[in-house]
């Protein structure tokens, strides 16, 4: 058993938010600092108070099996997302839905952006799917342009396309008009377009970028969303997808286990959608603190590439003996080192936006590190 645990600790984890490994490493220091995690893009306000109360009140129901059809949750989601209930499916976070999609459709060839969220490719690898990378260019600030449509045309034999809007880790947005053009091409060539909108709710005007308006016209579109980031529910695991293709959604149901969404996650999700004031405060905080962080980072000579949501994509411009994330780690600060993203090299980082006091700690640490 000890050998198994040791082997698992050697596994290179892909994502930010790994406070557990950080705790292990920092505990070896003589006076370990407290951890301040800027590596996971979670709402800095934390779990809404109303959600905490709903979870506590429902604790006596946890001895029963959860509703495998998530009926009450989906009824609420239908009103919240303004889409028909049969177009919705809930899962154990967005990652669960990504893997179900891949297992259900079994694509032979798929395309992903580079860089983008790593879990798309990890899911595709699990079924030995050939993955093509459309490499976004640093000189274009990692934005998609019309050339992407040409690349799609050259690869007409792909079965599935993954897009992330806003993209993770770059924070760049794909304009709605471009999404429409991509969907037209995908429909003509029988490509399933998987559009990850997990960060859309952080946008100041999310309706300007969501593809929900195109769901009825394009049954080759499936949108993935999650409660993870916007409601700080990462540990509860709740995500959902939207598609007018009910045959596809039925295939996804069969590709997963029936009780993937726990009672506590369903309860939390139902209450979260009622927390309208929480969303208003979230956007106000993110907007104000984004301006502060961008201004502060640029004053330190750090290049800010993009920031449209609750994280900032940067390039560390200084040639130092130790990488930035290692120097900050010694101070107990975690940021997302992006060099393991396909298409990125050393020096690219993603920093989430937190409350002002925490952001001030980060800027102070960066100013001291820059002088080393």
Residue 28 φ then ψ, to 5°: -80, -15
Helices (H), the chain: 2-9, 19-26, 49-57, 71-81, 94-105, 119-126, 147-154, 176-188, 246-254, 263-272, 276-299, 324-329, 356-370
Judge whether 270 and 54 are in contact, CB under 8 Å. Answer: yes
Whether 333 is covered by a domain: the verdict is yes
pLDDT number for residue 156: 72
Same-domain check for residues 142 and 221: yes
List, as own/partner pairs, every contact residues 245-248 make where C-beta atoms lie below 8 angstroms and the sequence separation is at least 24, other chains included.
245/219, 245/220, 246/86, 246/87, 248/104, 248/105, 248/192, 248/219, 248/222
Same domain? For 195 and 304 the reply is no
- 2 within domain boundaries: no
- Centre a 10 Å sphere on the Cβ of residue 357 and count the other Cβ atoms it contains: 7
Q: What does the pLDDT read at residue 9? A: 44
Do 286 and 190 belong to one domain? no
Task: Let me know whether 212 and 228 are in one domain.
Answer: yes
Q: Give the CATH number for residue 335.
A: 3.90.1150.10
The answer to whether residue 6 sits within a structural domain is: no
Which residues of the chain are modeled with pLDDT < 50?
A: 1-11
**Domain shared by 136 and 284, yes or no:** no
Strands 192-196 and 130-135: unpaired
For the entire predicted model, the pTM comes to 0.92
The number of domains in the chain is 2
| Sign for the pseudo-dihedral over CA of 182, 186, 188, 189 | positive
Q: Report the b/e string of 121-132 with b at 16+ CB within 10 A.
A: bebbeeeebebe
Residue 159 lies in a domain: yes
Q: Is the residue at 351 inside a domain?
A: yes
**Closest C-alpha to 266, from 227, 307, 212:** 227
CATH number, domain with residue 78: 3.40.640.10
Residue finishing a domain among 243, 272, 301: 272
Say yes or no: 216 and 327 in one domain: no
H or E element at residue 350: strand 348-352
Our measurement of the distance from residue 300's CA atom to the centroid of its chain's CA atoms, rounded to an integer in Å, reads 28
Question: Within this chain, do residues 84 and 217 fall inside the same structural domain, yes or no?
Answer: yes
Q: Three-class SS of residue 196?
A: strand
Q: Starting at the edge strand that comes first in sequence, how are the strands of the sheet with 88-91 ordered?
A: 88-91, 239-242, 221-226, 192-196, 160-164, 109-114, 130-135
- Domain interval for residue 300: 16-47+277-370
5 part of a folded domain: no
Out of 228, 252, 272, pick the residue that ends a domain. 272
Same domain, 200 and 60: yes
């Amino acid at each position: 058993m000890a050998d198994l645990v040791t082997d698992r600790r050697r596994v290179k984890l892909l994502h930010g938010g790994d406070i557990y490994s950080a705790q292990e490493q920092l505990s070896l220091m003589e006076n370990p600092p407290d951890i301040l995690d800027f590596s996971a893009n979670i709402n800095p306000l934390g779990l809404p108070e109303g959600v905490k109360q709903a979870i506590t009140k429902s604790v006596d129901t946890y001895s029963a099996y959860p509703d495998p059809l998530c009926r009450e949750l989906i009824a609420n989601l239908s009103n919240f997302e303004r889409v028909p209930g049969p177009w919705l499916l809930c899962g154990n976070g967005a990652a669960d839905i990504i893997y179900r999609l891949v297992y259900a459709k079994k694509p032979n060839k798929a395309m992903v952006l580079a860089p983008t969220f790593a879990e798309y490719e990890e899911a595709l690898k699990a079924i030995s799917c050939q993955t093509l990378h459309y490499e976004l260019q640093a000189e274009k600030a990692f934005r998609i342009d019309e050339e992407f449509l040409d690349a799609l045309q050259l690869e007409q034999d792909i079965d599935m396309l993954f897009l992330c809007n806003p993209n993770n880790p770059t924070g760049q947005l794909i304009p709605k008009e471009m999404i429409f053009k991509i969907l037209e091409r995908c429909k003509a060539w029988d490509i399933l377009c998987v559009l990850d909108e997990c960060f859309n709710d952080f946008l100041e005007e999310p309706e300007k970028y969501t593809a929900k308006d195109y769901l009825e016209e394009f049954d080759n579109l499936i949108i993935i969303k999650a409660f993870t980031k916007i409601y700080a529910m990462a540990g509860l695991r709740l995500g959902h997808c939207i598609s007018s293709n009910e045959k596809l959604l039925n295939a996804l149901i069969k590709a997963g286990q029936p009780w993937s969404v726990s009672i506590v996650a369903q309860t939390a999700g139902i209450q979260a959608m009622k927390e309208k004031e929480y969303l208003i405060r979230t956007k106000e905080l993110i907007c104000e603190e984004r301006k502060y962080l961008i201004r502060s980072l640029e004053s330190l000579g750090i290049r800010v590439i993009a920031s449209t949501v609750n994280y900032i994509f940067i390039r560390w411009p200084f040639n130092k003996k130790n990488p930035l994330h290692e120097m900050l780690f010694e101070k107990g600060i975690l940021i997302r080192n992006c060099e393991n993203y396909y298409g990125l090299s050393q020096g690219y980082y993603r920093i989430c936006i937190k409350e002002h006091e925490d952001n001030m700690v980060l800027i102070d640490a960066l100013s001291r590190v820059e002088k080393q």
